[in-house]
Amino acid sequence: MDFTPNTAVLQAKMQAWCVNLLSIPVDAYKLGAIIGKGAVIQMVGGDALAPDVMFVSGDDRKIVTPGAIRGAPLLAIDMIHSQTPAPLAAALRTRYAAAHVLEYWQIEVDKGRAGLYQANAAWDYDLIEADKAGMHFSTAIVELSFPVQWFLHQPDIWTMMAYWGMIEDLSE
């Protein structure tokens, strides 16, 4: 995919914001680690995946090695462009499902939209729509729920922490 300089900046900002979003509950509850760009999931058979962000639970820390993640993280996130061809986006989902990644997000960085997918029993992904209140409830990080509109408006870390009741909301 051909990223313009502006799209590359949006990608970097969204990636950093997703790391913050996930790190708040993961660090607060000591659930594991959030790993950013650069880490590679090494699948059996030599295939490799390089998500922009992933979550590895503390119970699975043995899969994190110096050369690669050797096993499936519970959550992987790719930053894509809204013009990514549908077959390419679907192929990515198929590859992550084959790697047994429980939850997978494809975020369109230029539109602030996300496709949030969770694996079913056959290791295919089902698109998980927000509930009636506009909330997403993560399967990979049970403590994580948030309004899906956050992908578009990306609140700061203090707003997110206040939303989850981790700090007092000083804006009131």
Query: 55-69: per-residue pLDDT in tens?
Result: 999 999 999 998 899
What domains can be seen in the chain, in order of their start residue? 5-163 (3.90.1570.10)
* Cβ-based neighbour number of residue 119 at 10 Å: 19
In sequence order, which residues have a C-beta less than 8 Å from that of residue 25 and are 6 or more positions away? Answer: 31, 141, 143, 144, 164
Query: 7-55: per-residue pLDDT in tens?
Result: 889 999 999 999 999 999 999 999 999 999 989 999 877 789 999 999 9
- Interatomic CA distance for residues 11 and 17, integer angstroms: 10
Residue 64: what are its φ and ψ, rounded to 5°? -85, 115
Q: What is the pLDDT of residue 33?
A: 96
Euclidean distance between the first and the last CA atom of the chain, given in angstroms as a whole number: 43
The structure's pTM equals: 0.94
pLDDT at residue 143 above 60?
A: yes
Query: 94-140: per-residue pLDDT in tens?
Result: 999 999 999 999 999 999 999 999 999 999 999 999 999 999 999 99
Residue 40: what are its φ and ψ, rounded to 5°? -120, 135
| Nearest residue to 38 via CA among 26, 51, 23, 27 | 51
* Segment 147-159 mean pLDDT: 96
Torsion angle, CA of 165/107/141/94, rounded to 10 degrees? 170
* Banded model confidence at residue 1, pLDDT cuts 50, 70, 90: very low
- Interatomic CA distance for residues 85 and 43, integer angstroms: 24
- Interatomic CA distance for residues 138 and 25, integer angstroms: 11
Where are the extended beta strands (E) located within 12-124? 32-36, 41-42, 48-49, 53-57, 75-80, 103-108, 113-119
